[in-house]
């Protein structure tokens, strides 16, 4: 059996589809299944059982002999949440329990870290283990992810193989439930779609982007390493079968693009002329806003990953035309 935590969420549910497409059906879905808005993400998946997050460790104690791999994708990912107790419980202590079980029962593990661990990027974006203790994340979410990475690196015993993946700005299908935390691609599409629906009321078709509050960047010139979720899945599949070179790895494309590039690609995928307006970055995140992220991908490439990444334009075109336009799921 293969376990996926966060299986009803964005990346987790896409991973279940990837496994199904590879012919793997003996999957255990772990999540908090109380949210009906996440149910469509797993509605047509093939799996053995759903296990509630709160009882998963107890379940694993009883069934570990049948588990061959664990993907620990589940986490609290809200960067606007400032209650550290929430992150301590869900991102730090729960992840420690998963790690310890994988170690004790010799189960390979892939877990989700985050590019939010890099903070303002002062120390760069290289996935060098020696740099991780020095990183200064900008919000409690990033802190929780970095604290777990640091804890992992202090361990003297580990699962038989393990990978911590620092996800950069992931976008793609199955994020309808994420609200404010959905990707900018998703929000841009929704803004254009809503505007088009109200065209009779003379509402302009436009995308709203955050204004720059940093003089080094023009409005819309903020840079991110945007990665299509199907590239994330390809890397995860590679590592699942590689089972060597354990460690913490960046997972981006290695190429930063501007938010203007992103918005223009959304309009192009809809065959519409671009129309963009700028709004102030909300006060609650303004001083914790990353203006530049770009994954150094050398480490992953050196262990043999050689598939090209989707370009920003190609990923957005597939996402918009293949999923968002018809509200389809992967």
HSE value, Cβ hemisphere, 13 Å, CA-based, for 53: 20
The three-state secondary structure class of 249 is strand
Ramachandran assignment for 252, one of left (phi > 0), alpha (psi -120 to 50 degrees), beta (any other): beta
Give the DSSP H or E segment for 209.
strand 207-210
Reduce the DSSP state of residue 140 to 3 states and report it: helix
Backbone angles phi, psi at 147, to 5 degrees: -60, -40
Contact 73, 114 (CB under 8 A): no
Q: Considering only CA atoms, which of 172, 194, 188, 253 is closest in space to residue 220?
A: 188
E strands present in 56-187: 69-72, 109-114, 162-167, 169-171
Do the Cβ atoms of 135 and 217 come closer than 8 Å?
no
CB of 124 within 8 A of CB of 59?
no
Copy the structure tokens of residue 243: 């089972």
Is 259 within 8 Å of 184 (Cβ atoms)?
A: yes
Cβ atoms 111, 317 nearer than 8 A: no
Q: Which two three-digit tokens encode residue 36?
A: 């009906």
Please give the positions annotated as active site: 141, 178
């Amino acid at each position: 059996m293969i376990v996926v935590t966060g299986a009803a969420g964005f990346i987790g549910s896409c991973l279940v589809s990837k496994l199904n497409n590879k012919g793997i059906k003996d999957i255990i879905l772990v999540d908090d299944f109380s949210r009906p808005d996440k149910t469509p993400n797993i509605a047509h998946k093939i799996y053995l059982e759903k296990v509630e997050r709160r009882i998963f460790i107890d379940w694993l104690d009883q069934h570990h002999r049948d588990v061959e791999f664990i993907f620990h994708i589940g986490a609290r990912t809200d960067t606007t949440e400032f209650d550290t107790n929430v992150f301590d419980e869900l991102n730090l202590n729960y992840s420690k329990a998963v790690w310890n079980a994988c170690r004790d029962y010799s189960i390979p593990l892939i877990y989700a870290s985050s590019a939010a661990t890099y903070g303002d990027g002062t120390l760069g974006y290289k996935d060098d283990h020696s740099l991780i203790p020095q990183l200064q994340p900008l919000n409690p979410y990033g802190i929780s992810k970095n604290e777990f990475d640091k804890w992992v690196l202090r361990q003297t015993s580990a699962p038989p193989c393990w990978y911590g993946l620092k996800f950069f700005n992931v976008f793609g299908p199955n994020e309808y439930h994420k609200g404010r935390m959905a990707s900018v691609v998703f929000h841009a599409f929704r803004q254009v779609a809503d505007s088009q629906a109200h065209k009779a009321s003379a509402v302009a078709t436009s995308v709203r982007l955050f204004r720059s509050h940093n003089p080094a960047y023009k409005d819309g010139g903020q840079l991110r390493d945007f990665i299509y979720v199907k590239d994330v899945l390809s890397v995860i599949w590679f590592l699942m079968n590689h089972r060597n070179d354990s460690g913490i790895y960046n997972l981006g494309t290695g190429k930063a693009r501007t938010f203007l590039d992103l918005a223009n690609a959304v309009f192009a995928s809809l065959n519409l002329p671009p129309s963009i307006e700028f709004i102030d970055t909300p006060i609650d995140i303004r001083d914790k806003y990353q203006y530049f992220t770009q994954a150094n991908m050398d480490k992953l490439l050196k262990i043999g990953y050689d598939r090209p990444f989707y370009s920003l334009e190609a990923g957005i075109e597939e996402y918009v035309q293949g999923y968002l336009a018809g509200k389809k799921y992967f």
